[in-house]
Amino acid sequence: MTGDAAPNTGGASYDLFGPIVLDAAGRAAFTATLAQGGAVDAGNDLGMWSEGSGALALVERRGSPAVGTTATWDAAIAPPVLNDSGQVAFLAFTNGGPIGVWSEGSGVLAPAALTGSQADGVPLGQNYAAALSEPSFNDAGQVAFHGTLSGTGVTTSEGQSAPGAGGATFTDFEGTRLATGGDVAFRATLSDGGSGIWAGAPGAVQLAARDGSAAAGTTGQFANFVAGDFGDLGQVAFEAGLEVGVGGVSAGDDRGVWAGAPGAVSLIAREGEIAPGTGGRVFESFSGPLINGAGAVLLRGFLDTGTGLFLHDGALGKVVASGDTAPGTSIGLGAATFAAFTDYALNDNGEVAFTATLAGVLQGVTGSNDGSLWLRDRNDVLTLIVREGMLWQLGLGDFAIVASIDFTGGPDSRARGLNDDGAVAFHLTFTDGREGVFIAAVPEPGTAAILALGLAAMARRRRLW
């Protein structure tokens, strides 16, 4: 919480917080600023903390020496990634030095890549350039990222031959994902102007799909790709477009989501199809498919009316959609309804955490209480974790009103706020100016009596800091 002592800072206290992420054991990592005053100023007021070692400890702090460089830390560029071994990886700036990816995968914090330094696996003299991506990090401590190169022998037209691409070479990469076993997946553009999705072992990736190839489950062919996700079973999930005018494809059905192993992807959902459980509404577009370790796929669908989250686990089904009743939101005027969905995460048990905007003027919904965070558990039960405008207990006799909610969604190998036990990590700001990071554990339906005793409709909740 704002005002609490920050470990390993010589007595400084927390001021503001960034996103919080979680591992399988419920350990957390986050960034935060320190309250200025005394020995704390703009040159050392930002840091990163992790519970990976068991107790909350400082990982890096602005102004202190940046490991593996002669510079000092400045700021993390994105939330840290925390693997299930309690190790962190992150992308960060230094003051007057390189941008880099750092990882604790070796057991101690060390740079995996620094701009201006020799790049791994390429000829001598080819260095990492400024465009490094956020890392993907697995439980074995391996890190994956993409970036640009500079130096001797690097050109914009020459690259590694792309498997299955008829002699074309890779020219650019995005959306790098890393599985537990060390396999990778990514979207790439090609020297012939095409693009595609590749996955497999480093140095032996296979083509999953590329533009111009037949699109499974349709009579059309792929036209373009949006980077997706990669699961531990070696399966990819991605959004793609179809070539209008080929195979009967029109502007009303030219996008979809596919998933599966390279060479065996299947259509999950397509524009123009009826979205299940929505009373006949149809898909108009998609974003951000996620795939878990069991091969289930979560996607957000934009409908002809509203939006929704949908889970494919053998068949496509609705998780939640605009217009659905939001349970537990009545303040005496009836329950609110869901309006839209933003950040979301999927764990290996098929549980889904997500943030949502609520609607219902007659139900007392206003701009100060329409934000919310939810968990749908493995029994398909929706539970409200926190809502803007809620009175939140911070300590004995200490209550504050929630002003905003920050939850980190995303795939398993990137930063996320949901673990396989159904614990949810989130950052709250309050109307009195204070902030805090929290972890909530939602009980199974069989413990509903305990649930009713919990503050803010939670049976178990801990304030992390």
pLDDT at 158 over 80: no
| Max CA pair span of the chain | 70
Q: Per-residue confidence at 159, pLDDT binned at 50, 70, 90? A: confident
DSSP secondary structure letters along 164-206: TSTT-BEEEEEEEEE-TTS-EEEEEEETTS-EEEEEEETTEEE
pLDDT by residue (tens digit) across 268-277?
999 999 999 9
- Residue 127 confidence (pLDDT): 92
Q: Which helix (H) or strand (E) holds 73?
A: strand 72-76
- Residue 410 confidence (pLDDT): 82
Q: What is the mean pLDDT of residues 450-457?
A: 26
Q: Which residues of 294-308 are buried (b: 16+ CB within 10 A; e: fewer)?
A: ebbbbbbbbbeebbb
- Residue 454 confidence (pLDDT): 27
Burial class from Cβ neighbours inside 10 Å (0-12, 13-18, 19+) for residue 358 reads buried
- Residue 413 confidence (pLDDT): 64
pLDDT at 453 over 80: no
- Residue 331 confidence (pLDDT): 82
Looking at the chain, how many residues does it have? 465
Amino acid at 441: A
- Residue 189 confidence (pLDDT): 93
Q: What is the mean pLDDT of residues 295-302?
A: 97
pLDDT at 462 over 70: no
- Residue 460 confidence (pLDDT): 36
pLDDT at 403 over 70: yes
pLDDT at 449 over 60: no
Amino acid at 26: G
Q: What is the mean pLDDT of residues 280-288?
A: 96
pLDDT at 368 over 60: yes
Weakest-pLDDT range from 153-167, 356-370, 393-407: 153-167
- Residue that wins the pLDDT comparison between 412 and 326: 326
Quick one: DSSP state of residue 418? B
Tell me the C-alpha distance between 298 and 352, whole Å.
8
In sequence order, the 6+-apart residues with CB closer than 8 A to the CB of 284 are 271, 301, 302, 303, 304
Query: pTM for the full model?
Result: 0.91
Under 8 Å between Cβ of 284 and 273: no
